[in-house]
């Protein structure tokens, strides 16, 4: 008697050719796909379609879902389970791709961020933790999409400068951005930033198959003054400015301040240096002195708090900024 054999899984026509092209495509990061180890279903569908066109396969070739199922059955893909995602959209389904050991692989939060927004920039608390600027563990993560608004920077689009007291400023706690997803109890946020407000962007290699776009050290320090709660709150902000300032390049910091052109940010940076007794080098010091005189002579010198959304009672009279 002949035994019953299990059915052989039927693969699409020219499957080996397709699989080879797919493997080559995902062998190293690209500008459009900085991470090729962790990737969303949405990005995978674009990859599948590009390969189909390059191989001159018919439009009737199996859909991305079917191709993905083949990869899953072969152990070449593993879905990363998000928290409370019962019916995830293609942009909220994450997969690890590789040859072996996918289930046991450690997933870096920055991989998820870059996979979720391939053209985005990782920033705030995520950048502080990755750049080893804080001893605090990141309790949330951010990736930003960039948008342009006019040709001339307008600081009022980020903060109303004419305030009578810091209590009128909206607390950052309620503006962490749009929650994109949650993984292992940690919230991941998507936020929008104006291009002119974030000149400090760098590309770093996270692994052979993953690159990330993330804010530089100098940009990240400035971000703590603009969005303290995005960056972990006052305790983290003061830790960074007290213990990590020596690592930054003041020439780079000055160039960013000039490009961003947000007077409250300038005043907060100057006040923070005063608070910790930092003496900036000649170029930065001269720029601070000149800017201070220009601001005092203008009508844009109303009192603000050192950290947005936090009330303090003491005053730094040089900058007219309330401090702890």
Sign, CA torsion 214/220/224/225: negative
How confident is residue 105, by pLDDT bands cut at 50, 70 and 90?
confident
> What would you report as the CA-atom Rg of the chain, rounded to the nearest whole angstrom?
24
pTM as predicted? 0.88
Give the Cα-Cα-Cα angle 289, 295, 296 (nearest 5 degrees).
90
**What does the pLDDT look like over 45-98, one tens digit per residue?**
999 999 999 999 999 999 999 999 999 999 999 999 999 777 788 899 999 998
**What does the pLDDT look like over 118-161, one tens digit per residue?**
999 999 999 999 999 999 999 999 999 999 875 444 444 334 33
- CA 32/CA 43 separation, integer angstroms: 10
**What does the pLDDT look like over 187-213, one tens digit per residue?**
999 999 999 999 999 999 999 999 999
- CA 125/CA 141 separation, integer angstroms: 6
Question: What does the block give as tokens for 3?
Answer: 């035994």
pLDDT of 2 > 70? The answer is no
Longest dimension (CA), the chain: 100
- What pLDDT shows up at residue 7? 46
Question: What does the block give as tokens for 33?
Answer: 């796909």
Residue partners of 140: CB distance under 8 A and separation at least 6: 125, 176, 186, 187, 188, 189
CB 73 within 8 A of CB 89: no
- CA 130/CA 125 separation, integer angstroms: 9
How large a percentage of the chain has pLDDT more than 90? 77
């Amino acid at each position: 008697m002949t035994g019953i054999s299990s059915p052989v899984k039927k693969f699409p026509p020219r499957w080996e050719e397709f699989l080879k092209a797919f493997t080559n495509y995902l062998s190293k990061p690209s500008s459009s796909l900085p991470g090729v180890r962790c990737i969303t279903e949405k990005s995978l569908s674009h990859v599948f379609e590009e390969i189909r066109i390059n191989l001159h396969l018919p439009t009737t070739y199996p859909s991305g879902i079917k191709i993905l199922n083949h990869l899953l059955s072969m152990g070449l893909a593993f879905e990363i389970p998000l928290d409370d995602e019962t019916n995830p959209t293609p942009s909220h389904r994450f997969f690890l791709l590789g040859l072996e050991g996918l289930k046991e692989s450690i997933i870096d939060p920055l991989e998820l961020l870059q996979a979720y927004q391939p053209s985005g920039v990782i920033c705030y608390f995520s950048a502080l933790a990755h750049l080893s600027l804080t001893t605090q563990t990141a309790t949330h993560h951010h990736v930003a999409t960039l948008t342009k608004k006019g040709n001339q920077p307008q600081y009022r689009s980020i903060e109303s400068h004419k305030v009578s007291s810091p209590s009128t400023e909206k607390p950052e706690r309620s503006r962490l951005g749009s929650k994109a997803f949650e993984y292992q109890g940690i919230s991941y946020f998507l936020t929008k930033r104006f291009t002119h407000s974030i000149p400090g962007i760098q590309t770093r290699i996270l692994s052979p198959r993953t690159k990330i776009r993330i804010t530089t050290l100098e940009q990240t320090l400035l971000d703590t003054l603009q969005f303290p709660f995005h960056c972990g709150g006052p305790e983290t902000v003061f830790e960074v400015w007290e213990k990590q300032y020596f690592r930054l390049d003041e020439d780079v910091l000055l160039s960013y301040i000039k490009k961003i052109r947000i007077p409250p940010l300038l005043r907060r940076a100057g006040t923070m240096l005063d608070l910790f007794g930092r003496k900036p080098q000649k170029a930065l010091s001269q720029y601070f002195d000149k800017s201070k005189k220009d601001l005092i002579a203008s009508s844009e010198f109303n009192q603000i708090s050192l950290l947005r959304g936090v009330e303090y009672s003491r005053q730094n009279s040089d900058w007219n900024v309330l401090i702890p």
